[in-house]
Structure 1
Amino acid sequence: MKSRTLLAGAGFCILAAVAIESADRYLFRQAAAAVAARVDGLTFAGISAEPWRGEARIDGLDWRRRGSSLHVRAVKFAPPRLFPLAGAALAGLGEASADDLTLETGLSVYRIKRIVLVGASLSSAGLLQLFDPKNTEPLAERLVALTAASIAIPEMTVETKTGTATQTFIYRDILLNGISAGKAAEANIAGISFSILDPRTGDADGAYGKVSAKDVDLVLAAKILSETRDQENEPKRELFNAIDIDGFHLGGAQGELDIRRLTAATVTGRAPLRPWREAATAVAEPSTSGAQRSALLAAFVDAFGSDDLTATEIGLNFRKEANATRLTIGRASISLLDGPRIDGVEAQNLVFARPSGRISVESLSFRGLDLRPLTNSDRAPNLLGEDLRPDFEQIAMTKLEGRLTPTEDADASSGSTFEVERFAIERAAPKDAARSGLNVSLDHFTAPAGDGGVFSTLAAMGYERLDLSSRLDVIWSEASSELAINSFSLDGADMGSLNITAQFSNVTLDLASRDERVAAAAAHSVLIKKLDLHVENAGLFDKALAVQAKNEKQSVDEARQSDILKATLLLPALLGNEAPARALGAALAKFIAAPKNFSLQALAPEGIGIADLEFVQTPGALLKKIEVTAAANQ
């Protein structure tokens, strides 16, 4: 917004050069008229100069050009006290001011009661070159010639209409210092308040605290706001070195958002590929699809970059009567933002609370995010389509704690708590670009095993808490349509472990088709060719056998012998009583007798699918299609 003010004020502020170079009223009027003649659409209602008082004035300045207009009630110029008007051009302008400025751009209307520019200098030749219609250089680039000690705006109101929404922003005490070569060494805003009126989505209002920025490139800011870029890969340039916002608040009928502090370092930018006005109007249109809206917003993000963005003490409240929800984040940061590519996102001390429970997370992080898939506005062919999900390298979470509160009509014991030490998802990165995979890890999911709870069966076995860890390593090849579960493991403290590996074929993206018939057909085509299972007992089977014996009113030895008999005789009979079935029963009986470990391998060279399970007449007939080997206590 500061850059647009500079653009709007440049015409009248640097007219001071003409006033300074004019030794009397006639010369000033002549120079001002020459400028008006050279600038299309520029008119003055009145021009006056009083050299003996050191003041020049333009009344009723109007400038209309390409759908935009600028009106200023009065512009005044005064040289430094130590220099007369005729010589002031050599030393620089003392002060220029404008009252009641209105700038209309088609999308927004800017209203400024007063703007004061101190210490500016520009020759009349430079002024004419700045507004010369034959000059093909963009206006934003021509502003590099402007130099000033400061620009001050006590108050500026900006009203923008997009679709059904009307946004009004009020900026207080804008001050730009050390303006040279189109850059401001420092920019400050005492505060910003705003309101959003929209009958479709509801009204909202809010405010920013003090805003401070260093090394602001006003020319680049003007280009970003008013121009478009021709080259998609045009490099970003530094927009400002640092920015600090002391607080933010947004409130509406649906809820409130508060941020204690926002900071950013080395913010870069470039002009958008599409004019902001067109993009903003398209986003606001109700007919714009979600995918198209995401693409437009992603294009906006693509125009900017930053080394570091940080927000502290974030609070988000959702107002839903009895189901009011609050999310708080102690600190959130984004590192190395380059348009849709983000090196890392971190959030610390997250708390999500509502009447039904509370969830807290010590840290949540994302690595290697790429939002470019979201820029595709086409409808994805399937639910896993690349244009429906951002790419990432890692998602990690530490110290997750949850407490679920029972509902009013439920018993108090139905409430539960749980904790997770760490949870992470990492993308597998094989050399073959046609393959993709995931590594998922869960460390120490713990929960009480009290009576009446979710894990009451474990409580009956004598466990006080569940302590479970898990790993998943899976790779999918689109070219071969093969899915390999290299490892899926469960490890329970004082229980034991389970590890599974498997190989599937005919796994295609049609499984995620939007067409249910296509998805069902794809599921029926999936074949499992290999399954390996390995179990290590560390107490779970012994305790389960003890509970079984108690329920059947038997001794543990009696229950064990009964299970051994079932494994030796009943299981093989159900499976056709062939040699593989008897070998499986024998291995299982050996494990039941002394449960240490058990391994099972099933191979199906031709593959087994859902159709085989649907049409098989007996388990024995299915076993004939599979090569099964089993072993115990090895």
Structure 2
Amino acid sequence: MEQAGKESGKGGRRALWAAVAIVAIVAASAIGGKIVLERKVNELVAARGGTAASVDVDLLGRMHLRDVTLPLTNRVNIRVTAIDGRPKIFFLGGMLEVSGLSVESSTGKISVPHASVKDANLDPGVLAELVSRKSSASLSKRIEGLAVKHVSAPEVTVSQAIAGSEQKTVYRNVALADIANGRVARYSADGASFEFAMEIPDGLGDTKQERMTGSIGAMAGQDFDAAYMARLYTEKAGPQDKEAKPLYGPLSVKAIAFSNSQTRFAYDEMRSNGFSMRMPAEPLFELLEKLSSVSNPEELAPEERRAFFARLLSLADVVGKGDMEMLGLKIDVPDKNAETEGERIKLAIDRMAVRLDGRTFDAALNGLSMGEGGDYVKFSEASITGFSWDSTLKALQEMAALDEQQLETFPFTTLLPEFGTFRVAGIDVDLPNPETGTDNAGAEGYAETDDPDALAEEGLVPDTEQADGADQQTNEPAAAVLERIRFTLKNYELALTKPYNGIPTNVRVSYEDLSVPLPADAQDEALAELRKLGFEELVLSSNIQAAWDEPNQALVIEDISVSGKDVGSLSLSGLMGGFTKDFFSGDPAMTQVALFGLTARNVKLKLKDWGGMAKGLKFYAGQNGMTEDQARGMFTMMAAAMLQQFAVDQPKLKGAVDAASRFIAKPGTFSLTVRSKAENGIGAFDLVAASKNPLLLLDKIELEATAQ
């Protein structure tokens, strides 16, 4: 037992000495690690050309840096009042607490009073790779190597001063989550406030400074590629960079409002599904710096000027795909033209949307309403689709490579873009007539005026100006002019597509259901006559559509038509030959010569009655004390007699005359087709001769007429 006790005592002493040795080793390692880590941090700061007032690492590996400055490229400097953190050690993720962070450049400043970085892979190797100037890795690769679970800042202030405009924005509770491989999976802010000042025209030929203040609600976004952003600004495109790549994903910003002393703007929300960009031929930092260094391109030498415009045009190809929607826009501005103070113009738009796809552009606007009191303009939709500046950019690139002599023969029509299709729907207008005023109102809906010149310009009264210039006195009462402009329009479209040398070869202009009310007390003679015919409103539609058939060198007139509700419609279609590319040369002389090569191949005329003839007969019968049947019978008999006499004189017209007689007797649809007997059509000189005597064409055409 005594021996066992001695052995036990020796074992306890050995365990005690082992524990002391371990503590000593750990303490020595901690002290050694502290010294090594402090030296490493100092080296990293110094390697970037920066300074730190103090660098301290405690025994637990936590770093404490004070008053740190780090100069970056492109005249950007970082200053930090305090950095307290821990690098990644074993299973413990790195963390940082940053105070008094500011990033300053020549155009602005970012200030962050406090920020927290949690669960970051900030081991010494990653830190060295991030900030070392000697690293061979690009900035984008360094960013890809950083992984952080969460970054938060209670406040971030962004200040900018560009081209005389100052702007300051303060974001609240900014957060970034799941940063890895150079991408931020999610980012958000609870809101922001901002103010900006800018020089705007004052309407008197000078400018004045306006200061606006505003606020922003919740902001949230996904999939921001910070590494790709770094590539865009610091690297040039490589062989693999032919396609645009996503820069950020879905984004939403709510409750945007700003105002000054007189004007208020507000959006319910701005949102986007994302945006992609294409790598530039040279880094954006370098490209923008070279562009901004040129104040007057015209003063550059020819080669330098061409290089300048080539760089400027290359910016357009950086754009990939993207979209933006703005919902619930409201604008409230004072009416500077109002006769009394305090009157305001209010504008509301339900939705505005823009979509970019390389060099093409689509935009839409829905639910616009603008008004003041009882005056308003409304429409349900306005859009443009298929607009493309591809041809414009190509032409500009060609121009940039030409000298002054070559520019003299350059086809400037090629600078025109492809306009695409413009559409407006659901228009409703009720406004004062600018030719009148409320002070001279007479009968309801009208205003009296004594200015005969103004009335003559409007076509409301004959021009009373005499040839000898003498004044003419009259005792007739002043004429009446519509006091208000009222109309609705269901739909309007303008399509200018498929350009050749910049000139559209496919054209469509149409409007549908243009409705103009006819006042019951109409004093204008034409409006009064329409009321007598039974019209309470005039509803008109029209369409013009034509396209160039390049392989057959023909102009296809698909439709030229006009129609009126409860009246009828008249439409024309046809085919013209000899329509060569000279019409799209942009040279007026060549166009005039090409006109003489046109030939008419066929024309189709269609007339439809939708009640117009019945209204006319009813009005005629009332004016002449007849019944409608009597008026119809008399008119049918007279028209038939005249047409049959015409057919006797011109037997080739008998088929057309018979069809016209049937249409008059029982209105419905009348169709007349005229075809050239010659395969190439009827020439311009024949058409000129026929303008004085159309019967000269009877031997050169075939007629086909129907009445249904």
TM range (shorter): 0.7 to 0.9
| Other structure's SS at 2:337 match | helix
How far apart are 1:209 and its partner, in Å? 3.4
Confirm whether residue 418 of structure 1 aligns to residue 487 of structure 2: yes
Residue 623 of structure 1 aligns with which residue?
697
Aligned residue runs from structure 1 range 226-625, under 5 A? 226-230=234-238, 234-249=242-257, 257-273=265-281, 276=284, 278=287, 299=315, 303-306=319-322, 309-316=324-331, 321-322=336-337, 327-333=347-353, 338-341=357-360, 346-353=364-371, 358-364=376-382, 372-373=390-391, 375-376=393-394, 378=396, 381=411, 385=414, 387-391=416-420, 398-407=425-434, 408-409=436-437, 412-413=445-446, 414=482, 415-422=484-491, 437=506, 444-450=513-519, 451=522, 457-468=529-540, 474-507=546-579, 526-545=598-617, 547=619, 556=631, 567=643, 578-580=650-652, 588=660, 591-592=663-664, 594-604=666-676, 605=678, 607=681, 618-620=692-694, 622-623=696-697
User: 1:327/1:102 Cα in 2 relative to 1: closer, same or farther (>3 Å)?
Assistant: same
Q: Distance in 1 between matches of 2:223 and 2:558?
A: 53
Cα distance per residue 1:392-427 (max 9 Å; x no partner): 6xx665533333433434872423543344556789
Whole-angstrom CA distance in 1 between matches of 2:504 and 2:420: 14
C-alpha spacing 1:521/1:114, structure 2 compared with 1 (3 Å): farther
- Is the 1:298–1:375 Cα contact (8 Å) retained in structure 2? no
Q: State how far apart, in whole Å, the 2-side matches of 1:95 and 1:313 are.
A: 41
User: Is contact 1:89-1:122 (8 Å) kept?
Assistant: no
TM-score normalised by L of structure 1? 0.74
**Does the Cα contact within 8 Å between 2:381 and 2:424 map onto a contact in 1?**
yes
CA offsets 1:78-126 (integer angstroms, 9 cap, x no match):
34xxxxx9x857623342424252432x5x3324253424233422233
- Unaligned regions of 5+ residues in structure 2, if any? 1-28, 202-206, 299-307, 339-343, 400-409, 447-481
Q: Provide the rounded CA distance (Å) in 2 between the counterparts of 1:437 and 1:624.
A: 32
2:490 touches 2:514 (CA, 8 Å); kept in 1? yes
- Pair 1:469–1:621, CA change in 2 (3 A): closer
- 8 Å contact from structure 1 (residues 24, 51) kept in 2: no
**In 2, Cα distance between equivalents of 1:349 and 1:491:** 28
Instruction: Please provide the CA RMSD for this pair.
Output: 4.9
- Superposed CA deviations along residues 42-77 of structure 1, whole A, max 9, x for unmatched, are 131533326269552243524253x32314153422
Q: State the match for 1:180 in structure 2.
A: 180
Aligned to 2:53: 46
CA-CA distance at 1:532 after TM superposition:
1.1
Query: TM-score normalized by structure 2?
Result: 0.67
SS at structure 1 position matched to 2:94 = coil
Q: Please give the per-residue CA displacement for 1:418-444, whole angstroms capped at 9, x wherever unaligned.
A: 334455678999xxxx99646777554
Percent of paired sites with the same residue:
16
1:218 partnered with 2:230? no
CA contact (8 A) 2:419 2:497 kept: no
1:24-46 residue CA offsets vs partner (Å, 9 max, x unmatched): 7743442134324544xx13153
Tell me the distance in 1 between the aligned counterparts of 2:334 and 2:586.
Answer: 34
How far is the alpha carbon of 1:191 from its aligned partner?
0.9
Provide the rounded CA distance (Å) in 2 between the counterparts of 1:258 and 1:524: 58
Q: Which residue of structure 2 lines up, in the alignment, with residue 9 of structure 1?
A: none
**Distance in 2 separating the partners of 1:316 and 1:515:** 46
Aligned CA distance change for structure 1 residues 566 and 552 (closer, same or farther; 3 Å): farther
Q: 1:276 to 1:159 in 2, by over 3 A?
A: farther
How many matched pairs?
586
Partner of 1:34: 43
- 8 Å Cα contact 1:298/1:374 also seen in 2: no
Shift of 1:538: 3.4
- The offset of 1:494, in angstroms, is 3.1
